[in-house]
Amino acid sequence: MELRHLEYFVAVAAERSFTRAANRLHVVQSAVSAAISSLERELGSTLFERSAQRVDLTEAGEALLPQARATLDAAQAARD
């Protein structure tokens, strides 16, 4: 599991949009989509319910979100 994947996951969860998350992260939307797909394959679970108008966390996504934030915070603390 890569920290970058968790960073992208947290951004999509916050923005509720792959496009807005990509803009926030200053990357192309396809990179965000690919990272989320890779994370979902690795975990064996869908993290987002996607529709044309919305992106919502699944139960698995809701469970992962606080852990992902804690992991990113710990990585930042280690860098500091």
How confident is residue 52, by pLDDT bands cut at 50, 70 and 90? confident
Closest alpha carbon to 2 in 31, 27, 29, 39: 39
Structure tokens at 26: 């200053």
Query: Residue 53's pLDDT is what?
Result: 82
**Cβ atoms 22, 28 nearer than 8 A:** yes
pTM metric for this prediction? 0.94
Average pLDDT over residues 48-56: 90
